[in-house]
Amino acid sequence: MAKKAGLKGYLDALVDKDGLKTEVKITLTDQTLMKTAMYVVGMVVVSSVAFFTIRGIVKNMESIKSTY
């Protein structure tokens, strides 16, 4: 099982006795890439559903308002 690094672990990796490190290596594995892509796709779907739901509610309220 992979070790999970917390925020303190990331900060410790960026700072040493001489100060901030300027060379930071970020490894992007296939699993990380897949999770990131699925997150982006999920956010697009959720935001689209929210947009069309709100648009439908507004149109419905306008049509109810115009009948009175």
The predicted-structure confidence for 19-44, as pLDDT tens digits, reads as follows 777 776 778 889 989 999 999 999 99
The confidence band for 3, taking pLDDT boundaries of 50, 70 and 90, is low
Query: Is residue 1 a part of any domain in this protein?
Result: no
Q: What is the number of structural domains in the chain?
A: 1
Query: Is residue 20 a part of any domain in this protein?
Result: no
The pTM (predicted TM-score) of the whole model is: 0.53
Residue 2 in tokens = 């992979």
Tell how far CA 62 is from the center of its chain.
33
| Distance from C-alpha of 66 to C-alpha of 60, rounded to nearest angstrom | 10
What's the domain range around 48?
Answer: 25-68
Query: Is residue 36 a part of any domain in this protein?
Result: yes
In sequence order, what are the residues at sequence separation of 6 or more whose Cβ sits closer than 8 angstroms to the Cβ of residue 15? 21
